[in-house]
Structure 1
Amino acid sequence: MTSSIDDKEKSDPCSPKHQKTEEETIWYDSDSDDSECVTPDEIQLYYDEWEKSQGFEMDFSKLTYCSSWKQLDLDDTTMADEPETNRELIAKFAKLALTKHNAEMDTSLELGNILRANYHPSAGVTLYISFEVNDPYDGNQTKPYRAVVRYFPGDIEVASCFPRPTS
């Protein structure tokens, strides 16, 4: 029989999906109710995905640990005000980034399709946007681009806009 003191010293176990031996598990506490326990392998997989995509095309289906990163559903309205969709809002951000890029690089690229947007909360929301551009000076070829845009209440900041690396 265990005493009430022993019961108080025990931690609640991770969900069965995440249970590991005590030596293999790292506990993360957060201010929210979604505290989770994560293994070093799960964290390494997250960092491998980050390194491979730099935050743009992360494969969240492989990850059990994502920190606060999420993929934005472009056809939903979770970030946009209806009747606008997330895709339309992200297109505005991509156009803003592309306008800045065109001015700095003396190009005339035109926004094509919005492919994907990943985000994480910061002081506002930082968005990692993958999209296509059309280059009228290169036979109207479609080229993959990326932009990082910070969306603060009442303010939008373009952090970067550049072609997607080939490798």
Structure 2
Amino acid sequence: MPPKTPPPSSAATRAARDRVVQFSIFLRNKVGAFLDVVRLLQEHQVNVLGTTIEPSADTAIVRVIVSDPDAVEGIFHLHSIPYSTWHLIVVELKEAAHFGEVLTALLAAEVNIYGAYALLTRPNDNAALALHVEDNECAVSVLNGSGFTILSQDDLSR
């Protein structure tokens, strides 16, 4: 009899819930394409919490953070919407001046930033910044050590 796989630890389960998922959606560059996706998500009670768009001549890559990543994967599969996912970190900014401090802390730790955008939602009534970085674990450690609060998917989905 093969050995049983142990159930995930509560720490592993919490870590999975903590991860903020970004979806990169590949859309034709046409009027209303993004609105169609947003309406589809809203039909399933899913909200877009943050977004950025990279347009090109024929297509656009729309990056979104949503309120229910598990539901979105199912919705995208069902509707044949091409996408990829990436785990981001989201840092809470209590003041606009903290933006520079976040960048300074990451620079000091030599953590490369691949992308960043502000969220549409304001958890805890503060601004939130989504960061796609080279090393999530290092960035979280550095930012926590610098006094910043890292927000989880659960924090954003409330």
TM-score, normalisation: structure 2? 0.27
Point out the structure with the larger helix share.
2
Structure with bigger RCO (C-alpha 8 Å, 6+ apart):
2
TM-score, normalisation: structure 1? 0.26
Greater C-alpha radius of gyration: 1
